[in-house]
Every structure is written in C-alpha cells, then in structure tokens.
Amino acid sequence: MSVNLRRAVFASANVNSLYPVLALLVSIFAIAPLWYPGFFQSHTGYAAVYNLIDLDQHLGNLLTWIPTWGRAFDLLRMDGPLAYWLAELFHLFGLSYLGAIKLVYALAFGVSAYAMFVVARRVLQNDAGALLAATIYLYFPYHIALVYQRGAFGEAVAYALFPLALLALRALQSKANPRALILGALAMLLLTLTQAGLSILFGIFAVVWLWFLGGNNTRPVFLRAIAAIVVGVALGLALRAPSIFAQAQVFAPNGFVPAFVYPFQFLTATWGNAQPRGVFTPERAGEEAAYQIGIAALGFTILALALLFRNGRAQARSSPMYRVAIVNVLLAAVLIVSMTPWVEPLWSFTFGFLVQYPFQLLTFVGLSLAFVAGSMVITDERFADIPLLAALVIVPVLAVYPYLAPQYFDLNPTKPALARFNDELALLDAKITRPPGVWRHGATVEIDLTWQALKQPNRDYTVFLHIVDENGKPWGATDEKPQGAVASDRSALSTLKLVQGQIVSDTHAVQIDLKGPPEGYHIRLGIYPTATGQPAPTETGATEIRIEENK
C-alpha cells in the first residue's frame, strides 16, 4: 500500500469517527449556561428542584410519588416521574438537589444531539448530513426555549428521548424479532413515564413517519410499530396506576391553555418571556415567548428543496433524498397548521387533553426539519467538505446564541420551601443578615426573603413580620409590600404583577423594642391580602411561620 493511500484511509477513518464526537461536542454551547452558579429564571422557577427534594423525602413511596410542587396533578399534560428518578439517582451519588437537576438538563442536551445523529445517520446514510441534522435538532429555537424559558424539566428529557424512540421503532423496518419489539416498547415506556401526553402524540407522529418512509415493507413495519407503541404506552400508564389511584382527579381543570400560534410568529425573531395565555395582544407582541421555527431550520429547508428540484421534478424524484425531504416537509407543514387558531375546534375534542399548549408540537417540527436539513448534504456533496460543513453547523448555534443567557438566582435549596401561601406564593428562603448571632433588645433584625410565584396571584399581598418573645408577646413589627423595605430607589412590588415562576428577593428590617427582654426572640412571618388583612394560609393550614435567630 502506498504512503498516499495509507494516508487517505487513515484520514477517512478519522473523519468517520470524528462525526459522533462532534455531535456531542456541539452541545457544549447549550450546556454552558448550566455551569453558572445558581439556577436560571424560567416559567417554572425552582419547581424542578423542590419536586426533587419532595421525592427524596418520599423514596418509600416511589411508585405513588408525583411531581406536583406548585401545580395540580394531570396525568397526561404534566411531567411524569422518570426525569426526577434520574435526578434522584445523581443526588444519591452525592450531588446537591440543584446540581442533580442541572446535570439531567445537561445530559438531555447531549443525548438529544447524539441520538439525533444516530437516527439521522440511519435514515440519511451519511455522517455529514447526520451531524447537520443533529445540530438543527439540538439548537432548534423551541428546544432552547423549553429549557431556559419555560423550564420544562420533563419535556426536556422527552426531547432527548424522541430520536431514540424513533430509532427503536425504525429498527422494526429490518428486524421482526422479539428483541426489536421489546426495544421499541421500552422506548415508548420511558417516554410515557417522562411525559405521557407527548408520548402519545409522538406515537401518532412516528406511525405516520414510518408509513411514508418505511420502504417496501410498509405494512408489516406499520403494524409492528403500532404494537410496540401501544404496549409501551400501556405499560407506562400501568406503572403510574398507583399514583393515579392516589389522586382525587386525573386531569387538571382548565389544563389546556389555547395559546395558539399566529403564522407570523413562526417567522418572527421575538424572544420574550411572556407566559402563554391564549390571548394575543399586538401591543405586547415584543414580549411574546419564542414560537419561531428559526432562520437555520427554515433556511436550510428552503435550500434543501431548492437543491433537490434544481434540475426538475423528474430528476428530483430519482434522488434517494426525495422521499425523506418531501415527507418531512409535509409533516412539518401539517404540524404548523395544527398550531394555528384556524384549527382551534379540532383541539377541543382531540389533542387538547394530551398537552398543555398547542405549540408543544414544535418539538416534532424540529425533528422533521432536521432530517430535511441533513438531506441537502447528500443532494449536493459539496456540503460534505469539512470547511463548508463546519460553516453550516455553526449557523444553528449562532442563530440562538444570544438567547443562551438567562437570568440567574444564587439559591441552592437543601430543604423544602419554608411555606406555600394560598398556593400562589412560595417562600423559598429566609436569611438573617444581621445581627449575626443572638438578638438582643434594641437591635435591628434584617432578613432577606426569596419568593416564587406559583401562578399569577389574584391578590395584592403584604408581608408581615412580628418579633415576639417565647411567651408570644410582640416587641417589634413591620407590614410591608415585597421589596418595600429595600433601598429608596426601588419601589414596593405589587404581587399582582408577578407571573408564574417569577423569583423575587427582598429585604425587611424590624427593630426590637428596648423595653423587651434582653434576648430570646423569634420572628413570626406571613402574608395577607392588602384589601382584607386576613392572613393567608399555608399548605399546612397555618397562617404564619417561625424564623429563629442565627445561633
């Protein structure tokens, strides 16, 4: 063998082994914000962390436990337990609750990229195209938004499992043995334990996808896939039966929010933080959450179709990528139309009981368009050249890079939240900043409070802090709005302006009367609607909590 030939073989081997590694490495930019200390602000706040704390305290009831911190139980629309089971495993190995949650998020990013690479390589039969497909899927705008904007913990894990499930179901195309059926059913089982409603929708998507891309043995593949999906979903729901029977209701009332997407929102560059409300107001268009398809996915789809049909339809139909591109584009188009207000009546008696929002179908749009984007590397082999491929791969990253900078809060919970008032406001943390030790009469006690809105409050609350002795006699008190005791350049905050998941911190100060006992004090803290003055109850029925001095 000549030197040049040996070099060519060596280079080819290295390039082929490089692509799977690159599929993992490209996820670093998505994972990087998770390395920042603290936790990011999202529509769910610290809910995932406190759900994990609750699971850790109820490990003896593993099969009946459900993640309902700050929300009502909903079998299909809300998170299942699987993502939290995984996080609990990491916690048992020594990670903090927050660290375990962030690690699961990080793994979900990495797995979504690698799994998409593997399934795209099987479909496209090309590593370069698979790498581009994996990058599009990983950095699809909705994927970034569901983590760093919505804080959808279970859905983030499901997003990583979808390509794996599609890979397992596609394996039924060439293998009719029991092992392939078991793997397909297992994939659907894991999805059902992660997000039951989305797993059912994925099953429908996968069946249609396999029907049109199943090759010559479409009918057997179709039937085997349906069998695996039905068995997997049924087993998943059966495993959740103990938790279902423990609940008073299976579906949350008004669990479906008709937040349909207007056509222009699929193309807009808006990246706001507004909660999905089902009502679109033009004056608040700039605050709307991200529903965009993205310049990378849309641009590459247009380019892939242009390259496919550049020499006419007849030649396009002879391309091995014709069916892949057309089927996935049509699937994406149907899904996009399904999210618009035009089909709202359809949701009321079909898919509305499976998901919380119509725009959650964007996950499957990203999955479809990833295959289309990857197909253009096969249609035009020039894109497989390393320099040009690198330029293509960096486009999806750069397109969403400005949005990988969420707001952070430096709070690392180690125990349950101190209280949940009226199921509207949760007191996450109370920290005495001064005095550092024993409270003595005449001293000013300063306390930092961290709150989270469990939903948008419908009452304007006032915080009360009473310093009392061991006999319950008050020796100091203050009643203030949240953030009403901080520096003069910040005004008091009306809780009516809070939105679900929002984290706020404030500082309050109370002076102990000089006439009181020398020491032996504690704080009684609570909130009440300003209009009524009636203290709000906590989840235990109490109307106040006790905060001790630092000893």
pLDDT of residue 10: 35
Any idea which residue has 């807009």 for tokens?
268
**Calpha distance 437→342 (Å, rounded):** 63
Q: In sequence order, what are the beta bridge partners of 479?
A: 464
> By the 8 A CB rule, do 52 and 87 touch?
yes
Rounded-to-integer distance, Cα 460 and Cα 458, Å: 7
pLDDT value of position 14: 42
Q: How far apart (Å, rounded) are the C-alpha atoms in residues 103 and 178?
A: 34
Sign of the CA dihedral running 342, 345, 347, 352: positive
d(CA 501, CA 45): 4
pTM score of the predicted model: 0.93
Return the residue matching tokens 């390393």: 386
- Contact predicate 533/526, CB 8 Å: no
Q: Which helix (H) or strand (E) holds 466?
A: strand 461-469
What are the beta bridge partners of residue 429?
Answer: 450
pLDDT at 275: 77
Closest of 151, 150, 149 to residue 50, by C-alpha:
151
**How far apart are the C-alpha atoms of 150 and 469, rounded to whole Å?**
44
Are the C-beta atoms of residues 531 and 544 closer than 8 Å to each other? no
Q: Please name which of 455, 479, 391 lies closest in space to residue 72, comparing C-alpha atoms.
A: 455
- Which of these, 404, 405, 378, 383, lies nearest to 393 by C-alpha position? 383
**382 neighbors 127 (Cβ within 8 angstroms):** no
Within 396-443, strands assigned E span 408-409, 419-421, 425-434
107, 151, 168, 110: which is closest to 134 by C-alpha?
A: 110
For residue 105, give Cα distances in angstroms to 115, 177, 323, 541: 15, 34, 34, 35
- pLDDT tens digits in sequence order for the chain, 551 residues long: 443 433 333 344 344 678 999 999 999 999 999 999 999 999 999 999 999 999 999 999 998 999 999 888 999 999 999 999 999 999 999 999 999 999 999 999 999 999 999 999 999 999 999 999 999 999 999 999 999 999 999 999 999 999 999 999 998 877 667 888 999 999 999 999 999 999 999 999 999 999 998 665 667 778 889 999 999 999 999 999 998 888 878 888 888 999 899 898 898 887 777 777 766 666 566 667 778 999 999 999 999 999 999 988 888 888 999 999 999 999 999 999 999 999 998 898 888 899 999 999 999 999 999 999 999 999 998 998 989 999 999 999 999 998 898 999 999 999 999 999 999 999 999 999 988 889 999 999 999 999 999 999 999 999 999 999 999 999 999 999 887 644 343 557 789 889 999 999 999 999 999 999 999 999 999 999 999 999 999 999 999 999 998 75
Token readout for 512 is 């102990």
> How far is CA 352 from its chain centroid?
19
Which domains does the chain show, CATH number per domain?
3-276+285-404 (no CATH), 419-547 (2.60.40.10)
CA proximity to 359, closest of 343, 342, 335: 335
d(CA 165, CA 172): 11
Q: What is the pLDDT of residue 489?
A: 37
Residues 6 or more apart whose CB falls under 8 angstroms from that of 418 comprise 427, 428, 429, 430, 545
Model pLDDT, residue 421: 96
pLDDT of residue 224: 87
